[in-house]
């Protein structure tokens, strides 16, 4: 399951438009999607023609001490493969209600952990600030899409957002892959080209090739509470968001198809590289004969931008048994077919170093 937060503290940059239309397109190509509206303005919910004033439950009830519902209990089905956890204005009270309470940044995480339904994607639309709701969204996500529109203030707040993500990584050991998405792009202006160049310089390869062009059809679809793929499937906005969904799917396919052939222990010069793939893990460690199986000597792996955890060790020639420890759970290396079966049927991965 991929969990993607759409985030930027600047308003009007296309967060909600992206959340709605990316979710709708992913659902249309057979991905089971949960869209979570964490903006008290509830524009994502309204964008699906939901009368939020008549809702009996909403995402507020996930955070409320008096209720504390699991996310399953507040979702509604929008269409095949697409569920929505809607928002209401009362969600704006969460910041004050949870002020000073321990674990307030993990409320959404715990709610999703109790979730019974299975999804391929969770997409989260955030409010235009870096408050508690946004921190909850980032805490539960492995990826973040940062919409950047064509305005003079486009990149001004992004550095602060990246700093928050960096702090979150340090404090919780939770890494988030970030990618920029250009929105409201007007090809007829020189200023837009300058912004594009600026974003490319700041994000390099960490930006989507797809560009969302400015078009009135996207605004019309939103005003009618209809995703663009249902409103005008051949217009510029529909083509752009279909391309974005295809690009997101391509990331998924490339990981699934390439990683099994690339992972597994490798010897490079005098070192052995150990790798483990798990985009949802918070911590991965390595233990084995080379650490004497002592917990104090466990080696913590680092996660790269492809959600691959890895470390390199200088190991003397010999035969070694090892295992990964994923969030406290011992697992053999799924990309190494060589195993050693110990007493009582316990399995360890093994490697021979010449």
Cα(186)–Cα(216) distance, integer angstroms: 12
Is the pLDDT confidence value at 259 over 70?
A: no
Q: Do the Cβ atoms of 5 and 165 come closer than 8 Å?
A: no
What are the pLDDT digits (tens) for 194-240? 777 777 777 778 889 898 988 899 989 988 999 999 998 889 999 99
Q: What is the mean pLDDT of residues 64-86?
A: 85
Q: Do the Cβ atoms of 208 and 173 come closer than 8 Å?
A: no
* pTM higher than 0.85: no
pLDDT band (50, 70, 90) for residue 260: very low
Q: Do the Cβ atoms of 334 and 296 come closer than 8 Å?
A: no
What pLDDT was estimated at residue 152?
Answer: 62
Q: Do the Cβ atoms of 92 and 98 come closer than 8 Å?
A: no
Q: What is the mean pLDDT of residues 87-115?
A: 86
| Residue 18 parent element (H or E) | helix 15-28
Beta pairing class for 266-268 and 271-277:
antiparallel
pLDDT band (50, 70, 90) for residue 154: low
- Tallying the residues shown for the chain, one arrives at 354
Q: What is the mean pLDDT of residues 43-48?
A: 93
Neighbours of 128 (CB within 10 A): 18
What are the pLDDT digits (tens) for 22-40? 999 999 988 889 999 999 9
Indicate the average pLDDT of the chain.
Answer: 84
Neighbours of 99 (CB within 10 A): 9
């Amino acid at each position: 399951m991929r969990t993607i937060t759409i985030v930027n503290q600047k308003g009007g940059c296309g967060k909600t438009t992206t959340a709605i239309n990316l979710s709708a397109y992913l659902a249309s190509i057979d991905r089971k999607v949960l869209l979570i509206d964490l903006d008290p303005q509830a524009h994502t919910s309204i964008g699906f023609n939901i009368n939020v004033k008549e809702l009996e439950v909403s995402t507020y009830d996930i955070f409320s001490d008096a209720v504390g519902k699991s996310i399953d209990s507040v979702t509604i089905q929008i269409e095949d493969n697409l569920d929505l956890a809607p928002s209401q204005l009362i969600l704006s009270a969460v910041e004050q209600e949870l002020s000073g309470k321990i674990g307030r940044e993990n409320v959404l995480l715990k709610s999703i952990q109790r979730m019974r339904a299975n999804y391929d994607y969770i997409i989260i639309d955030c409010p235009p600030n870096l408050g508690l709701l946004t921190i909850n969204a980032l805490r539960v996500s492995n990826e973040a899409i940062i919409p950047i529109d064509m305005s003079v203030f486009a990149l001004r707040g992004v550095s602060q957002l990246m700093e928050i993500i960096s702090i979150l990584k340090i404090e919780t050991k939770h890494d988030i892959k970030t990618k920029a998405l250009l929105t409201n792009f007007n090809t007829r202006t020189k200023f837009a080209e300058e912004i594009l160049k600026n974003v490319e310089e700041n994000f390099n390869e960490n930006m989507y090739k797809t560009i969302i062009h400015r078009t009135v059809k996207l605004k019309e679809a939103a005003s009618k509470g209809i995703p663009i793929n249902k409103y005008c499937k051949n217009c510029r906005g529909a083509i752009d968001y279909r391309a974005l969904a295809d690009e997101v799917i391509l990331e998924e396919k490339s990981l699934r198809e390439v990683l099994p052939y690339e992972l597994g222990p490798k010897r490079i010069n005098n070192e052995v590289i150990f790798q483990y793939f798990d985009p949802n893990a918070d911590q991965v460690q390595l233990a084995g004969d080379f650490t004497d199986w002592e917990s104090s000597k466990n080696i913590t792996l680092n996660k790269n931008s492809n959600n691959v955890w890895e470390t390199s060790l200088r190991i003397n020639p010999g035969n070694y048994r090892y295992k990964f420890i994923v969030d406290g759970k011992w697992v053999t290396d799924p990309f190494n077919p060589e195993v050693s079966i110990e007493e009582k049927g316990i399995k360890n991965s093994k490697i021979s170093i010449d």
